[in-house]
Amino acid sequence: MRPLRWAALALVVVSAAPAFAEEAAKAPIKSAFGPGERSKFVVSYLGVPAGEFELSVGMLMKRDGHEVWPILSVAKTEIPIYTINDKYVAFWDPRAQQHVGTDFWIDEKKQKRREHVYMRRGEGKALVKRALQGEPLTEQLYDVDPAALDVSCAVMWLRNVQLEVGKTYSKPVFTGAVAFTMSAEILEKTKVMTKWGEKPAWKVAVFTQFAGQLAQKKNLTAYLATDNLQNLLKVEAEFILGQINADLVEFEAGRDFSRG
């Protein structure tokens, strides 16, 4: 009878597994940000306003079989030596806290191209499709860390971490062409001047490995709010092409998922 009992138990477990998996997939979402959030920044080059950057979180949708929030970034600058008019969508799985893929429409220095990234996490791969405007897409497969995020998802991931002064938080990042580890060291809890006056903020030194004119001369400095949203307030960066700052000028909170 004992073998029959174990067989029956195994049958019950196997039969229940899909239901357990489905239930896990529908687990409550806990997040510092949510759909409807919108942030707008003024971008300055060498102290002169030269463009804007807007980031917004969209409603739950499906991408490659995952339920995701699309995180839309739109950047426009008129920096004489580096004009940008980019649209970038990162697909963020808010339950698994994972990057699923990206769609990128690039218009930089009068050259237009598009790029699409599909994360194959189980294989440790990323499939990238890219093309110049008017040309067919080509495909390339990259080896990536299964935990890799893109840059925008890495920032959002950091917002979901309970930050502490003196600690460093790191995540592998894949940009669509380059893989590196992004590290964020919490330097201090301070105050930063914003459009709305002084705000308490985490001062964060961020290490990246961008290339070309966007290569950093030193770690960029980011300021995150110290409240439960931990949203980005200001960025200061010194690149090869010069000093670039981004200051928050508009903010609308999205749906509250901070309590799960």
**Per-position pLDDT tens, the chain of length 260:** 434 433 333 333 333 444 334 434 567 899 999 999 999 999 998 888 888 999 999 999 999 999 999 999 999 987 766 678 899 999 999 999 999 999 999 888 778 999 999 999 999 999 999 999 889 999 999 999 999 999 999 999 999 999 999 999 999 999 999 999 999 999 999 999 999 999 999 999 999 876 554 555 567 899 999 999 999 999 998 877 678 899 999 999 999 998 76
Q: Which of 6, 76, 1 lies closest to 41 in space, CA to CA?
A: 76
Write down the pTM of the prediction.
Answer: 0.84
Q: What is the pLDDT, as a whole number, of residue 216?
A: 54
- Residue 5 tokens, joined: 């009992």
Q: Does some domain include residue 5?
A: no
Q: Which of 58, 113, 120, 130 lies closest to 89 in space, CA to CA?
A: 58
CA distances from 116 to 17, 101, 128, 259 (A): 33, 7, 6, 33
Q: Does some domain include residue 22?
A: no
Q: What is the pLDDT, as a whole number, of residue 240?
A: 73
Q: What is the pLDDT, as a whole number, of residue 212?
A: 53
- Residue 213 tokens, joined: 């004119």
Which letter, b or e, does each residue of 16-27 get, where b requires 16 or more Cβ atoms within 10 Å of its Cβ? eeeeeeeeeeee
Q: Does some domain include residue 115?
A: yes
Q: What is the pLDDT, as a whole number, of residue 242?
A: 76
CA distances from 117 to 63, 138, 175 (A): 12, 12, 9
Instruction: Spell out the alpha helix ranges (H) of the chain.
Output: 2-25, 151-159
Structural domain of 68: 29-252
Amino acid at 134: G
Three-state secondary structure readout of 135-162: CCCEEEEEECCCCCECHHHHHHHHHCCC
Q: Does some domain include residue 128?
A: yes
- Residue 215 tokens, joined: 């290569």
- Residue 102 tokens, joined: 């990206």
3-state SS assignment for residue 22: helix
- Residue 100 tokens, joined: 């699923």
CA distances from 108 to 32, 34, 247 (A): 32, 30, 22
Q: Does some domain include residue 21?
A: no
Q: Does some domain include residue 8?
A: no
Distance, in Å, from the CA atom of 70 to the CA atom of 76, rounded to the nearest integer, reads 20
Number of structural domains (the chain) is: 1
Q: Does some domain include residue 260?
A: no
Q: Does some domain include residue 24?
A: no
Q: What is the pLDDT, as a whole number, of residue 219?
A: 77
Distance, in Å, from the CA atom of 109 to the CA atom of 212, rounded to the nearest integer, reads 13
